[in-house]
Structure 1
Amino acid sequence: MPPVPDVDVLVAGGGPVGLASAIEARLAGLSVAIVEPRSGVIDKACGEGLMPGTVAELARWGVHPSGCRIAGFAYLQGVRRAEYRFAGGGGLGVRRLELHGALSARAAELGVERVAGRVDGVVQSATTIAAGGVSARWLLACDGLHSTVRRQLGLEREPGRRRRFGLRRHFAVEPWTDLVEVHWSEAAEAYVTPVGEGTVGVAVLAPPGLGFDAALVGFPELAARLSGAVAASSLRGAGPLRQRTRGRVRGRALLVGDASGYVDALTGEGLRVGFAQARAAVAAIAGGEPQGYEREWRRVTRDARLITQGLLAAAQSPARRAIVPAARALPGVFGFAVERLAR
């Protein structure tokens, strides 16, 4: 007689995508356990701007975090500025701590089990998969950029030579716009997101060795806005951002979110894509067809991968200086790209 699993779904990683996967699985009628070594509310260096599609998905799950309404995006380079306001409902600027707390509360309300520990020693059989002291019918690996499950499954690839890192800090200053501003310099980008009354988050994306303060020097207009502002959080970092995989499915294990591969953070759609992957992964295992997730993963990430890869290629070439002027000169193209990523 085959062994009886402890739960239907084991989720590795209790970040936003892991919690989203757990919530989606519970709403599909599956029993779920999350294995996560960290306790409490989990922070992460990120832009903290939620696209309209992300806000809609959270509402579908019954999750309503508090934050600042985001009406669209603006690209800035010196005196040049290109902006686009969403055609439909707006997005939301949300502190990662607020988002994680709201998702955690909803997962607990739905009966998701929490297990303190790490997902090590993944062992599969014909009917079960076990890791972290828990056995399940399926494993969803949502353990981030540096996924240990991805490595254990043999699905990891070299990330490539050009590596970039993210650094984030909050400032106690009144938001001056309802847009996410993306400031461009010769070497880096800075995402400025209103996340609350009297608070903005600044996330810098830069090559190795360029620190947060040094990067801000390249954005004189932004530096002037923040002059004299008190830091409202400690500096956090993440990276390298570029992550590649050999596939998203290995037996009864499926990679979801950053663990499944990550291009870069240039376009701000990370959680929207991660949540779409969670939905696709749960649908695949609920239907007993995990291999179908590979196809769905490609479909739900296609726009983000193509647009982000194209923008990243331009950003790492002599064409970098033309990105903001081009967005300003071709507002229809700029708006089309933002809307494709937003929904």
Structure 2
Amino acid sequence: MTRTIDLLVAGGGPAGLVTALHAARAGLDVEVWEPRPGDVDKACGEGLMPGALAELQALGVDPAGHAFHGIRYVGSGRVADADFHGGPGRGIRRTVLHRALHDAVLAAGARIEQRSVGRLVQDDEAVTVDDVRARHLVAADGLHSPLRRALGLTVPAARHPRFGLRRHVRTAPWSPYVEVHWGREVEAYVTPVAEDVVGVAVLASTRGSFEDRLRALPELAERVVSAEPASDVRGAGPLRQGARRRVAGRVLLVGDAAGYVDALTGEGLALAFAQAGAAVAAITDGVPQRYERDWARLTRRYRWLTTGLLVGTRSPLARRALVPVARALPPLFDGAVNSMARPA
């Protein structure tokens, strides 16, 4: 027998769970389908910028982690620091964040099932998947979204693909910042996530092992290689993913599934949270098509800044000059960091 619900959310990562939380609190009958068992993990930097942390706390979700007070660029033998103006961010293990959001969604009255969305059929009134007929469906099924592809919305791959790897190591955080270490062809993001654990995410335009990439950053490698691993290496990529549009009938794309440029600016979670709220508002207002315009507005700063930074750091010369320039022009660096720290 076919069941009818208001909203089906495909994907139980942060984007999908925050979507479900907004929807349940708006009075919608909502179900989340996530095929992976247990706490959902992902290769990411795990740092919530102050704006993202504030949005999470406004939802009543406040997972444990480790505070950081700004961004530090490291490279060419120099460092450049920029402190947040509006309070600290927080490094939170992705599994800890998932557990907190999962519990909040259940407490709000939504349901979470371990299953995946296969073939869907939609008409003017609903989307039908297996035994469920949903008035709307939110695809929050990740960077390589199967639903985006099935709907014919995926844009061909980028010319300059980038890949990421992340591992946690057991050591006390040595800096009050998220550190970004810049090398000739690789950069690494070091995020404190507990009193005795830091996460290290390395990004590059070539494939290679975590250890190979660390060797390109000798100062960081010296600290990390000698530390006890606290997790396995996880990978992601190619990072850049495009979508032709974010609304296809009664299906809305949220989070990485809606399109992603790069992890350079650390805004992924803030954007996912903002998109989740905008998608649910468009649905409850009866104008789901409005979400396309809202998505463009919410992500404009991120898309311009991240694309500009990617292009500007493509050459080894530019990468070598980045930290000295940030150090020489502190108001510019401070302004860029605090622009990224604001809510989307």
Normalised TM-score (structure 1): 0.97
- Aligned with residue 229 of structure 1, among 227, 235, 249: 227
Shift of 1:328: 1.3
2: CA distance between counterparts of 1:9 and 1:72? 38
Match of 1:23, SS state, is helix
Q: Aligned letter for 1:15?
A: G
1:142 and 2:140 matched: yes
Q: Look up the match of 2:34.
A: 36
2: CA distance between counterparts of 1:274 and 1:234? 25
- Aligned with residue 83 of structure 2, among 72, 82, 85: 85
1: CA distance between counterparts of 2:235 and 2:131? 30
- Given that 1:314 and 1:323 are in contact with CA atoms closer than 8 Å, whether structure 2 keeps it comes out as no
1:167-246 paired onto structure 2 within 5 Å? 167-246=165-244
- Given that 1:35 and 1:132 are in contact with CA atoms closer than 8 Å, whether structure 2 keeps it comes out as no
1:292-331 paired onto structure 2 within 5 Å? 292-317=290-315, 318-331=317-330
1:63-82 paired onto structure 2 within 5 Å? 63-82=61-80
Q: CA offsets, 1:219-272, max 9 Å, x none?
A: 111112224211111111111101011010000000000000000000111000
2: CA distance between counterparts of 1:240 and 1:123? 29
Shift of 1:207: 2.1
1: CA distance between counterparts of 2:16 and 2:129? 16
Match of 2:190, SS state, is strand
Q: Aligned letter for 2:68?
A: I
1:50 and 2:48 matched: yes
Normalised TM-score (structure 2): 0.96
2: CA distance between counterparts of 1:13 and 1:227? 34
Q: Aligned letter for 2:156?
A: E
1: CA distance between counterparts of 2:318 and 2:225? 31
1: CA distance between counterparts of 2:92 and 2:15? 15
1: CA distance between counterparts of 2:213 and 2:255? 28
Q: CA offsets, 1:105-150, max 9 Å, x none?
A: 1011111111221111121011101225422111110000010110
Give the root-mean-square deviation of aligned CA atoms: 1.4
- Cα distance 1:162–1:105, how it changes in 2: closer, same or farther (>3 A)? same
- Aligned with residue 247 of structure 1, among 239, 245, 248: 245
Shift of 1:5: 5.9
Match of 1:47, SS state, is coil
- Given that 1:263 and 1:309 are in contact with CA atoms closer than 8 Å, whether structure 2 keeps it comes out as yes
Shift of 1:314: 1.0
Q: Look up the match of 1:341.
A: 340
2: CA distance between counterparts of 1:95 and 1:116? 22
Q: Aligned letter for 1:85?
A: D
Q: How many residues align?
A: 341
Shift of 1:338: 1.3
Match of 2:95, SS state, is helix
Q: List gaps (5 residues or longer) in structure 2.
A: none
- Given that 2:8 and 2:31 are in contact with CA atoms closer than 8 Å, whether structure 1 keeps it comes out as yes
1: CA distance between counterparts of 2:230 and 2:2? 49
Shift of 1:301: 0.6
- Cα distance 1:315–1:133, how it changes in 2: closer, same or farther (>3 A)? farther
1:21-32 paired onto structure 2 within 5 Å? 21-32=19-30
- Given that 2:35 and 2:115 are in contact with CA atoms closer than 8 Å, whether structure 1 keeps it comes out as yes
- Given that 2:2 and 2:131 are in contact with CA atoms closer than 8 Å, whether structure 1 keeps it comes out as no
Shift of 1:41: 0.6
Shift of 1:151: 0.8
Which is further off, 67-76 or 327-336?
Answer: 327-336
Q: Aligned letter for 1:82?
A: A
Q: Aligned letter for 1:81?
A: V
- Given that 2:19 and 2:276 are in contact with CA atoms closer than 8 Å, whether structure 1 keeps it comes out as yes
- Given that 1:141 and 1:259 are in contact with CA atoms closer than 8 Å, whether structure 2 keeps it comes out as yes
Match of 1:274, SS state, is helix
Shift of 1:319: 2.2
Q: Look up the match of 1:271.
A: 269
Aligned-residue sequence identity (percent) comes to: 54
- Cα distance 1:329–1:5, how it changes in 2: closer, same or farther (>3 A)? farther
Q: CA offsets, 1:22-49, max 9 Å, x none?
A: 0011121111101111111111110010
